Chain A
Amino acid sequence: MSDVATIAHNDFRNVRRSRILWGVIALYVAFMALLFYASGTGASPDVRDTLFGAVFITTLVLPLVAIAASYLAVAGERESNTIRFLLSQPASRRSVVLGKFLSRGLLLTAALVVAVLVGVAFVLALYPALEPMALAKFTGLTLLLIGAYVSVSIAISSASASRSRAIAATMAFYFVTDILSVINAFSVKAAMKWVFGEILGLGISEELYEGLSTVISPAKAYVNSTLAIFSPENFQRIQIPGELPFYLETWFMIVVLLAWVVVPLVAGMLALDGAEIG
């Protein structure tokens, strides 16, 4: 297993010298800084209020940053032939996938930590209260979002022999599971309702549609998981009619996100294991 650490270390060393990647990360940090600053200088600044906007920005932007940082992790090595150097060493292909995941995940974690620290600085300067629990929950749940999208991107990268395939597949995944899942009017959920409800005439409850569309989208699972921060008791904008089924509770959202970290990673290992490096 020591080769995982070596690969992660050297991959991190290589990738952190990429200026383009720093640019993409800086964009996310800048969005967050702007949000915390703008809310902080408005009337009656509130951390939860600001975090509500932060979840929105993070849901749309951070998966894109994760994809940009990860989609070439393995496919790029195959296209540029550097993988021959790596696999000529006694490194297992599974260690390559795992090492890449750790390295790219660490990069995204660093981006998140910087963004949150900048946010905390603004909170300390401009807000009446810090609300550390809300900030900590936001950070923890966002880490899971990062893990899910980095894992999927690494898996797709491991299954792709070329750069173009990797970018096509990761972007398709982003659009379906993020844009088309979290925007309600035009969403995968609406499509499911149309197919199952209108066409097949199945009587499926609203909650079940929500649950189904959540299981297939890490971004949606992330958004729903933030109920842990914005519970109806402490956040006016969130209203829940009646009792939530278990599969829409926060703990289940965390299970879904964890599955999105583990399952693609295993699939990526198997894909690279079976790949012919010709």
Chain B
Amino acid sequence: MANYNTMEIMICVASRELEDGATVGVGTGAPCAAAMLAQKAHSPNLVIMFEAGGVSPLLPEMPISVGDSRTFYKAVMASSMCDIMDTCSRGLVDYTFLGGAQIDMYGNLNSTIIGEDYRKPKVRFPGSGGANDFASFCWRTMVMTLQDERRFVQKVDFVTTPGWLTGEDSRAKSGLPAGTGPYKIITNMGIMDFEPRSKRMRVISINPGYSFKDVQDKCGFELLKAPNIAQTKPPTEEELCILREEVDPYRYVIGR
């Protein structure tokens, strides 16, 4: 079995979710690496979109910013924030990858503040950026994050970005476009989806070397179990080779 680190397995697992011909809105870092890997490994016609306006670039290297010149290098179009988000709002974008400081059992994300007092927060984080927009409009939202009980919490301090809100049909009732919502949560320990009725997070696959208990121990709320929990396929030699040599040779992301 190949040797790989935490970031590498998350990126490889995430990349397998992106089928050829799909559209995906990504940011920098791990999500971008996953999209690049998918494009090089199995989905050459994956359309990568960056919220600042880059459409389907042939990325020469990992971008540092979702608006830097790499995001529209040999792209089909250098457009605008409104154009990209309008395209998501019209229903043309299949996937997006997000992260955050905190996530709850319904996949709601916090990237705004830690603390009780909004006016004088203990920690101020960036805010939504385009995350709230992407999660509102893209059909399937995926999250890549480390499994950690400080991240997976009973209640997020601030709902920056909508998941399934308070579960069941609360998301649809809120006014968010029908048929959208959190799809999969990819961590270093496993893969979660959401139980269809309650919309609570449930484990569907465990990464090599871990057990359900390990995942639960690193989660601040009770996880549901899928009827048949799979064993995550570890990164293949081919995936690792592309990831290390073509996607991220300077180890900006996989070296973290």
Whether A and B are associated in the same complex: the answer reads: no
